[in-house]
Amino acid sequence: MIKVGDIVELMPTNQRNRQLRAQENKHIWEVLKVDAPIYLKGDLGFYIKHIGSDHTRWVCAEDISIQEYRENLYEQ
């Protein structure tokens, strides 16, 4: 399961993702938040931030692939 702090690759599943990968070379992102935003109509989503810039966006599980697991960053 993908969690906060994991490093993921943005997959070319739609036009915007392909554009980010090809034109802006934004492949690798960090997961900042896991939630079910209205944007995804209640489905599980991931708020990600590009490594190397301030670009953030919400994506669904199909849009990302895990690259590096992180240990739990937060105490329970």
Domain count for the chain: 1
* Residue 2 lies inside a defined structural domain of this protein: no
Sheet holding 28-35, edge to edge: 56-60, 45-50, 28-35, 7-10, 64-68
Q: What is the pLDDT along the chain (76 residues), one digit of tens a residue?
A: 899 999 999 999 999 999 999 999 999 999 999 999 888 888 999 999 999 999 999 999 999 999 988 765 555 4
Report the alpha-carbon distance of residue 42 to residue 68 in Å, rounded: 26
Instruction: Find the domain containing 12 and state its range.
Output: 7-68
Task: Please tell me the predicted confidence (pLDDT) of residue 76.
Answer: 46
Asked if the structure places residue 74 within a domain, the reply is no
pLDDT of 72: 58
Cα distances (angstroms) measured from residue 7 to each of 42, 43, 46 = 23, 21, 12
pLDDT at residue number 42 = 85
